[in-house]
Amino acid sequence: MSHWSIATTILLATSLSPNTAWSTDELKELESRGAKIKKNEAGEVVEINLAEAEVGMDQLRALASFPELNRLTLWGAGITDAALPLLAENSKLQTLVLENTEITGEGIESLTKLPRLRVLNIRRSTYLDDSALETISKIKDIEQLILLYNNFSDTGLEYLAALKKLKVLDLRGCTMVTSEGLRPLAKLPNLQRLKLRCPAVDDTGVEILAEFPKLRGLWLEDCSITDEGAVHLAKHTKLDELYLFRTYISDDALAALDPMIRLKRLSLRDTAITGKSLNYLSQSANTMENLDLSETQTNDAGLKNLSRLKKLKRLNLWNTEISDNGATELENLPGLTWLNLQNTAITDASASSLAKLENLRVLNLSETDITDDTLKALADLEDLEELDVSFTQVTPQGVGDLTEKLPKLKIKQ
């Protein structure tokens, strides 16, 4: 090869981005195996998702060919400790997802060599124990830690107190965590979102959480919380989302929500509420956008207490006590874009009320007693995109007529 050819080759290679010049073959190999790739405007690979890809160690070694990689997702039992040292070359990696893997606490040590790591998801990595959290506590700049469904206990949470920049902590499904395990987390000065699905967290835990001043989002799903413990929620005046799914609260607990003037999202799913105390949500009338009352005893009278929530966009009333009388109250919520009335007692008598919800995009009427008459009324909802009428009395003819008038509408029958 002449000097000119050599120089030209070098020039061409250096004029291309590293991803383009050196990793074309590796990229094609990954894509052929099912990888999902995302590039930036310069054509550099910045995200790789291997959750549904068939990859081995050779493909994992190839990740070093993408120096701008900042987000990586790995999934499955094939991911072991041997894979983690290979990630050290990706110095710009900020988000790492390691779900359903067989990594151990020993392997986690390799992650401390990633200088820009901010988000770590190790969901369902069942070989991990509290020692892994001790190692993770060395990653001082971590901001989000997703630990769902792992064998971590109160002992492990003590190590997390060292993560002063931590903003989001997800402990859902970590069933060994108790109320006492929450105490060390009060030392986290920047914690904003805490997600718990821990049956051993009870009223004492809610009292402990009252000392977390910066919380903006709180998940207490499947926790053993009663009305007595719920009173401590009143101290969280800055919450914008609260999830009390499958707890032991009743209508009496909702008084604690009265001071929450910033609440945007609230889930009371599968609790014993009837709706008679939903008036306590009126303080968040200017902010509430998403309300989940599914699998509760919310009735027609309870819906009247939602009339002030003019900003409400999503309302889930699946498997509640709502009937045609309650459906008329929905007319007071003109901002609704998503509504679920599955398995309620509504009939065609509710059609006129539903037709007035001009902003609806998604509507679920499955397992109700509606007929084609309701479909005729819905024909005026020009922005409707998805409609579920499965297990109802509608006919193929009625569905066809509605599709003709709203050709972009997706109907599930």
Give the count of beta carbons closer than 10 Å to the beta carbon of residue 3.
Answer: 7
pLDDT tens for residues 324-343?
A: 999 999 999 999 999 999 99
Residue 364 amino acid letter: N
Partnered with residue 401 across adjacent β-strands are none
46 in helix, strand or coil?
Answer: strand
Q: Mean pLDDT throughout 185-193?
A: 97
Domain residue spans of the chain: 322-413
Q: 3.40.1180.10, 3.40.50.300, 3.80.10.10, 3.30.365.10: which CATH number matches 322-413?
A: 3.80.10.10
pLDDT digits (tens, 9 = 90+) for 224-259: 999 999 999 999 999 999 999 999 999 999 999 999
Element (H, E) at 3: helix 3-15
Separation between Cα atoms, residue 194 and residue 216, nearest integer Å: 9
Q: Is the dihedral of CA 196, 198, 199, 202 positive or negative?
A: negative
| pLDDT, tens only, 18-37 | 444 446 777 888 889 899 99
Q: Which residues contact 109 (CB under 8 A, 6 or more apart)?
A: 135
How high is the pLDDT of residue 19?
A: 47
Single-letter residue type at 320: T
Amino acid at 53: A
- What's the rounded Cα separation, in Å, for the pair 34 and 116? 27
**Is the Cβ–Cβ distance between 202 and 229 less than 8 Å?**
yes
Average pLDDT over residues 154-167: 98
Q: What is the DSSP string of 80-99?
A: -GGGGGGGGG-TT--EEEEE
H or E stretch covering 196? strand 193-196
DSSP state of 384: -
> H helices then E strands: how many in the chain?
14, 17
Residue entry with tokens 């902003």: 359
DSSP 286-334: TT--EEE-TTS---HHHHGGGTT-TT--EEE-TTSS-BHHHHGGGGG-T
Phi, psi dihedrals of residue 395, rounded to the nearest 5°? -110, 160
What are 73-97's pLDDT values in tens digits?
999 999 999 999 999 889 999 999 9
Structure confidence by residue, pLDDT tens digits, 289-315: 999 999 999 999 999 999 999 999 999
Q: Under DSSP, is residue 227 helix (H, G, I), strand (E, B) or coil?
A: helix
The Cα–Cα gap between 275 and 253 comes to 11
Instruction: Look at strands 45-49 and 36-39 and give their pairing.
Output: antiparallel
